[in-house]
Structure 1
Amino acid sequence: MVALDRKRKSGSSQSNGVKKAKSNATSSFILHSYSKLPDLNAFPKAKSEPLDIFVWGTGSMCELGLGPSAKTKEVKRPRLNPFLTSEKLGGTHIVDFAVGGMHTLALDGLNRVWSWGGNDSGVLGRDTSQAKEVLKSADDQDEDDEDGDLNEAESTPGLVTGLPKDGKIVQLAATDNLSVALFDNGEVYAWGCFRCNEGLLGFLRNEIKIQKTPLKIAELKNIVQLAAGKDHLLALDSKGIVYAWGNGQQYQLGRRVLERHRYRTLEPQQFGLFNIKYIASGDFHCFAIDHDDKVYAWGLNQFGQCALTDENGDLEDGSTISKPTVVDSLSNKNIVEIAAGEHHTLAVTENGDALAWGRYDMKEVGISKNDLPESTFKDQHGNPRSIPTPTKLKFIKDDSGIKIKSVGAGSHHSFAITDDGFVYAWGFGDTYGPGLGPLDEDVETPTRIVNTATKYHDIELIGAGGQFSVSGGKKIEDEEKAEDRLEKYEELEE
């Protein structure tokens, strides 16, 4: 982390003309009339499109799922995960996945969930305690084998145990220390725990500290979407109501948390957001879009990652948006997807534009120094610090031929997927998270991933953790079509 020079400010920052969420009186009325409320959001369908899964980055905590060999700890470009092929899965394929800080969940076509990564918090949903782990021999001269082999069970995809057999899983979600599965009947199962600044917070009130197997979250029903932060969760139900639970020390739960009530944050609670159709979350900041296309933001905002400034148009270190607040610069823009990292945010519009804002110094936002907007904040030395204004990204000199269908964000690196399945990456490069090979410095602007493993794949999904990344795509079987696509981008980038 880079230390900042501005003085810290307690309290919250708000935009000019702030529009807050509904009042508590309105919240109480709506919840008491819950059974009479109309359904605003449809229940999602289970995914079925088969995907090849690619992984890359630094996997010293078993994040890559490539097995226990020490040689799999660093992968500089996307590599097919050999444990998740149709042959290894018994004839089925992976159809969806979710990436946490140091672990990944993957759903296959038989409604089974696979997990891999660090399991200290019970996030894998299976016992890995008896796994073989080989430490480096003192006589071993292999420089690539710094710490010996990885934990065999954590570094190899394995099946989560204890999930109900009936019903289809329609979404997976993962925080740094928690795993979650949403079923097509609106029920939610979770396992792992939440952590806070002081360490372990727990899983449920003060009764369960770490939940090692899936447990139904009784307080939730009719859920249609989940959004995961670093150590908090958002859930949206069919009535358009948003719930939040987990760590709320940066107001990411949309409300003030009193220390004497800290364990109440481990129960999902609504906080005044209604008529919502979509939710998203970064590590410590959150977003919601309502059915009138208004975008709300709340949580940590010291880099303008909420796309808001205070009443004077300024940003201060440690500043927060304490309650859901309308973001005028994003509202009525037909935003269809938002992805966010630790201090930056990405969005996709209905017409295929990609927007970015937030922290700049590790190039998370993908904006060239020559193209920074006037709203850019600079430090005392004149170096760009943050961009609070959503800014359209450029992928080539003439963007007329490129449309974006999805975005993904790690803690400090970012991705955009074109409508025909190529991936552009940028941001922090030391851990190989962008997937662009060995890098001497961070990647300032979106750069297309070019490698043998994925050049003939139409990538559909992408996600990232602290120092690794995962994508899923389908192979383009028509060789002529695949070559035409490749030639198109090579010509555009000349």
Structure 2
Amino acid sequence: MVALSRKRKSTHTNPKTVSAKRARRSHSLEWKRASRMKTINKSPKGHREPLDFFVWGSGSMCELGLGPKSKTKEVKRPRLNPYLKKEEVGIVDFAVGGMHTLALDKSNNVWSWGTNDMGVLGRNTSLKKETPLDEKEEEDEDDEDDDLNEAESTPGLVEGLPKDKRIVQLAATDNLSAALLETGEVYAWGTFRCNEGILGFSKKVKIQKTPVQIEDFDNIVQIAAGKDHLLALDSKGVAYAWGNGQQFQLGRKIMERTRMTSLEPRSFGLKNVKYVGSGDYHSMAITHDGKVYTWGLNQFGQCGIASNIEDGSIVSRPTEVTELSGKDIVAITGGEHHTLALSSSGEVYVFGRYDMKEIGIPEDKLPLDDCVKDARGHVRCLPVPTKLTSLPPIKAVAAGPHHSLALTKDGVVYAWGFADTFAVGLGMLDDDVDHPTRIDNTATRNHAIELIGCGGQFSVSAGNRLPDDKAESRKASVEKFEENLS
């Protein structure tokens, strides 16, 4: 009699399965440890005052939200958005991504517009009129005159966000959108991209087209968006990051075999934090004891770390920017290769790439001893944080990939940087803007601007009109400041 062989159960364990289990276990332990920590950050109240809403720049990808007509593709100076009137909609806050914008209204609704390829608008934009083939062939001969996608270029309501919980902050990367609720919960939609293409929204979902709550993630008080990564800060002072980490912008090394774990929020050892900020490929944090940390891509000194400034240079873990020590920095943000830091007294410190004038310092006023030059002797970057001396006291800063905005304490916007896309809002220019220049046009001249934001090649602001006497008084003060500079 022949004995039948029995299959032995394999004792081999898939390394990916082990890694995933360890990641889940680590994630749960993080929350247990955090629950024992002291609360040091308060939940934000959010903005609640309805504002006039302005847009400008290049809108060929529907970024400006001015409707489908082709004449809205380029707006050289700030223009009031007719779809978001203060009396009817009442925008109170917004967030700007690479090619889309989110806006929160007084009734707790979120509006969106822009390119929706990755589901960032959180609504269905596929319903559009089909162009007859013969007409389309004629349009293709001169696509500059084509109208924009009606659903994407016109502000519409995001679908699926909770109605019974107040939204206190919005965030937008190039390909993902997020909303922070007063409860500390975070909802998100869209996806993350990496060097190879779509990375994904989560381990199971490539593109999330409507808002969903991020599981096992609460107690959050602030979120910040990079090009394809997000940062979050909780009430205990712990910072988290998730998304694409190929330039170490997540504050930790991402292994190829466990890359999908980067799609879940993880802490990375940075505690006692009171503020998080982000550039496209680098990240920042401010601690309660006044220290500023940066990490990620540093090829133009955008991390404020003046070592190994060359293509591909990175700061692999959070590193203190000692040049900002003692400056009482309260906010920090960045573009593709530059960074802006704001102090409590309204001073702005800049560092990073120079060739498109992103840092706002004319060449003849650069601290050349602190600059890095290329092989031809041209200034490549300024990696040392340097104070901008040509601005009045500032209350907010914003950065696009290659342009910057600063908002004065009395509501005036200054702009500088790359000018070809009109994102600086200064009209038709022959050259990039090498120093902070006041945006002065009919639409916003008598407004006290309260909020500013920068997209890939456009900008956004919001504010309220001043009484005539206050507008005249402010104008005299601003002009006197600028006369003293010259």
**1:68 matched to 2:68:** yes
Please point out which of 372, 376, 379 is paired with 2:374: 379
Rounded Cα–Cα distance in structure 2 between residues aligned with 1:278 and 1:339: 11
Specify the code of the residue in structure 2 equivalent to 1:218: E
Residue pair 2:115, 2:152 contacting (<8 A) in 1 also: yes
**1:338 matched to 2:332:** yes
Cα distance, 1:332 vs. partner? 2.7
Counterpart in the other structure of 1:484: 473
**1:259 matched to 2:256:** yes
Structure 2: gaps of 5 or more residues: 1-25
Cα distance, 1:338 vs. partner? 1.0
Residue pair 1:236, 1:243 contacting (<8 A) in 2 also: yes
Alignment of 1:132-171 (within 5 A): 132=129, 146-171=144-169
Rounded Cα–Cα distance in structure 2 between residues aligned with 1:31 and 1:169: 23
Please point out which of 425, 435, 439 is paired with 2:429: 439
Rounded Cα–Cα distance in structure 1 between residues aligned with 2:164 and 2:232: 22
Residue 469 of structure 2 aligns to a residue whose secondary structure is helix
**1:33 matched to 2:42:** no
Rounded Cα–Cα distance in structure 2 between residues aligned with 1:152 and 1:288: 39
The count of corresponding residues between Structure 1 and Structure 2 is 455
Cα distance, 1:469 vs. partner? 0.5
Please point out which of 267, 271, 279 is paired with 1:270: 267
Specify the code of the residue in structure 2 equivalent to 1:274: K
Counterpart in the other structure of 2:85: 85
**1:289 matched to 2:286:** yes
Counterpart in the other structure of 2:450: 460
Counterpart in the other structure of 1:131: 128
Rounded Cα–Cα distance in structure 2 between residues aligned with 1:331 and 1:61: 41
Alignment of 1:333-372 (within 5 A): 333-372=327-366
Residue 470 of structure 1 aligns to a residue whose secondary structure is strand
Rounded Cα–Cα distance in structure 2 between residues aligned with 1:134 and 1:434: 35
Residue pair 2:139, 2:145 contacting (<8 A) in 1 also: no
Rounded Cα–Cα distance in structure 2 between residues aligned with 1:40 and 1:459: 31
Please point out which of 202, 213, 220 is paired with 1:216: 213
Residue pair 1:27, 1:272 contacting (<8 A) in 2 also: no
Counterpart in the other structure of 1:301: 298
Residue pair 1:338, 1:346 contacting (<8 A) in 2 also: yes
**1:321 matched to 2:322:** no
Cα distance, 1:140 vs. partner? 7.3
Cα distance, 1:488 vs. partner? 2.2
Please point out which of 233, 247, 250 is paired with 1:236: 233
Say if 1:219 and 1:239 are closer, same or farther in 2 by CA, change over 3 A: same
Structure 1: gaps of 5 or more residues: 1-25
Residue 423 of structure 2 aligns to a residue whose secondary structure is coil
Q: Which has the higher helix share?
A: 2
Please point out which of 183, 186, 189 is paired with 1:185: 183
Residue pair 1:55, 1:469 contacting (<8 A) in 2 also: yes
Counterpart in the other structure of 2:419: 429
Rounded Cα–Cα distance in structure 2 between residues aligned with 1:27 and 1:212: 26
Rounded Cα–Cα distance in structure 2 between residues aligned with 1:219 and 1:268: 9
Rounded Cα–Cα distance in structure 2 between residues aligned with 1:29 and 1:179: 28
Counterpart in the other structure of 2:243: 246
The percent identity for this pair of structures is: 63
Residue pair 2:294, 2:319 contacting (<8 A) in 1 also: yes
Return the TM-score normalized by structure 1.
0.89
Residue 323 of structure 2 aligns to a residue whose secondary structure is coil
Say if 1:275 and 1:361 are closer, same or farther in 2 by CA, change over 3 A: same
Specify the code of the residue in structure 1 equivalent to 2:50: P
Counterpart in the other structure of 1:23: none
Say if 1:31 and 1:164 are closer, same or farther in 2 by CA, change over 3 A: closer
Extract structure 1 runs of 4+ deviating beyond 4 A. 26-32, 133-143
Residue 329 of structure 1 aligns to a residue whose secondary structure is helix
Cα distance, 1:86 vs. partner? 2.9
Residue 357 of structure 2 aligns to a residue whose secondary structure is coil
Rounded Cα–Cα distance in structure 2 between residues aligned with 1:86 and 1:287: 34
Rounded Cα–Cα distance in structure 1 between residues aligned with 2:57 and 2:406: 17
Cα distance, 1:336 vs. partner? 1.1
Residue pair 1:133, 1:150 contacting (<8 A) in 2 also: no
Specify the code of the residue in structure 2 equivalent to 1:251: F
Say if 1:243 and 1:338 are closer, same or farther in 2 by CA, change over 3 A: same
Rounded Cα–Cα distance in structure 1 between residues aligned with 2:429 and 2:330: 32
Cα distance, 1:219 vs. partner? 2.8
Residue pair 2:27, 2:266 contacting (<8 A) in 1 also: no
Say if 1:80 and 1:133 are closer, same or farther in 2 by CA, change over 3 A: farther
Residue 212 of structure 1 aligns to a residue whose secondary structure is strand
Say if 1:307 and 1:68 are closer, same or farther in 2 by CA, change over 3 A: same
Say if 1:348 and 1:134 are closer, same or farther in 2 by CA, change over 3 A: farther
Rounded Cα–Cα distance in structure 2 between residues aligned with 1:367 and 1:46: 33
> Relative contact order, CA 8 A, sep 6+: which one is greater?
1
Residue pair 2:56, 2:423 contacting (<8 A) in 1 also: yes
Cα distance, 1:142 vs. partner? 12
Say if 1:29 and 1:186 are closer, same or farther in 2 by CA, change over 3 A: closer
Residue pair 2:284, 2:333 contacting (<8 A) in 1 also: no
Counterpart in the other structure of 2:22: none
Please say which structure displays the higher CA radius of gyration: 2
Residue pair 2:139, 2:146 contacting (<8 A) in 1 also: no
Residue 480 of structure 1 aligns to a residue whose secondary structure is helix
Residue pair 1:133, 1:149 contacting (<8 A) in 2 also: no
**1:415 matched to 2:405:** yes
Residue pair 2:177, 2:189 contacting (<8 A) in 1 also: yes
Deviation by residue 1:42-91 (Cα, 9 ceiling, x = unmatched): 011132111111000000000000000000000000000010003442xx
Cα distance, 1:490 vs. partner? 2.4
Specify the code of the residue in structure 1 equivalent to 2:366: L
Cα distance, 1:139 vs. partner? 6.2
Rounded Cα–Cα distance in structure 2 between residues aligned with 1:33 and 1:161: 35
Specify the code of the residue in structure 2 equivalent to 1:52: D
Residue pair 2:297, 2:314 contacting (<8 A) in 1 also: yes
